[in-house]
């Protein structure tokens, strides 16, 4: 029996730019003068694993990279731009979450996030008010699909793996959840959460 539903954030509950759903960096070069592929190569490819697992801070890791590739842009300016342009909430899912919680299910977020954006999602976007818990990689010290991520959540919830359902848009994360004994559903298109839970619980 499923007792807790764990939702991924990016690609499931949050889907790109608020205006049109495009990736947050789509107009980054036009707006801030930073080529998105250069930022990917110089920052994300080299530093993101350490940032998203909490080993180093985002702001202090990003600043020296920007000093080299875009000295006129501060880390604060880029982070403000990024977070604001990666904040489209799927309102139908929020309604479904409320319905599941009314039915007695625990609903939590299970996401690969660093501390600053996790706080933005939780407090600025208000996700903390819609779910029971927010589990994220920088706080856990491990990221999906690392098995330690799933085990941490099991222990925090005090539930056996077979009582947990992950809904995620990344195949590797789904496979890892199943290997951990969880139920898991690959999110490929908008669906009603109640239908997913009913099917996964059969």
Q: Pairing state of beta strands 164-168 and 183-186?
A: parallel
From first to last of its 202 residues, the chain has per-residue pLDDT tens of: 999 999 999 999 999 999 999 999 999 999 999 999 999 999 999 999 999 999 999 999 999 999 999 999 999 999 999 999 999 999 999 999 999 999 999 999 999 999 999 999 999 999 999 999 999 999 999 999 999 999 999 999 999 999 999 999 999 999 999 999 999 999 998 899 999 999 998 6
Q: Residue ranges of the domains in the chain? A: 4-16+88-200, 28-84
What global pTM score does this model have? 0.96
Extended strands (E) in the chain: 4-7, 106-111, 133-136, 164-168, 183-186
**Residue 187 in tokens:** 């999110």
User: Is the Cα torsion angle 95, 100, 104, 107 positive or negative in sign?
Assistant: negative
Angle at which helix 193-200 crosses helix 91-102, to 10 degrees, equals: 50
Cα dihedral 12, 14, 16, 18, rounded to 10, equals 140
Helices (H) and strands (E) in the chain, counts: 11, 5
Contacts 24+ apart (CB under 8 A), 72-77: 72/33, 73/32, 73/33, 73/34, 77/32
CATH entry, 4-16+88-200, from 3.30.70.1730, 3.30.465.10, 3.40.50.1820, 3.40.50.1000: 3.40.50.1000
Please give the angle made by the CA atoms of 136, 137 and 141, to the nearest 5 degrees.
130
According to DSSP, the residues that pair with 166 across neighbouring strands are 6, 184
d(CA 154, CA 24): 32
């Amino acid at each position: 029996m499923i007792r807790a539903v764990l939702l991924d954030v990016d690609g499931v509950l949050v889907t790109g730019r608020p205006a049109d759903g495009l990736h947050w960096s789509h107009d980054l070069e036009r707006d801030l003068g930073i080529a998105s592929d250069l930022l990917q190569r110089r920052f994300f490819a080299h530093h993101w694993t350490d940032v998203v697992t909490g080993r180093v801070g985002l702001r202090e890791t990003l600043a020296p990279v920007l000093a080299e590739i875009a000295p006129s842009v501060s880390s604060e300016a880029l982070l403000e731009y990024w977070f604001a342009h990666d904040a489209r909430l799927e309102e139908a899912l929020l309604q479904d979450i409320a319905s599941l919680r009314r039915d007695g299910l625990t609903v939590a977020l299970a996401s690969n996030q660093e501390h600053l954006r996790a706080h933005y999602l939780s407090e600025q976007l208000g996700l903390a008010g819609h779910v029971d818990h927010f589990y994220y990689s920088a706080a856990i010290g491990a990221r999906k699909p690392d098995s330690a991520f799933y085990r941490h959540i099991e222990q925090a919830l005090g539930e056996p793996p077979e009582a947990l359902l992950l809904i995620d848009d990344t195949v590797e994360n789904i496979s890892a959840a199943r290997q951990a004994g969880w139920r898991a559903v690959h999110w490929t298109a908008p669906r009603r959460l109640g239908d997913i839970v009913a099917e996964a619980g059969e």
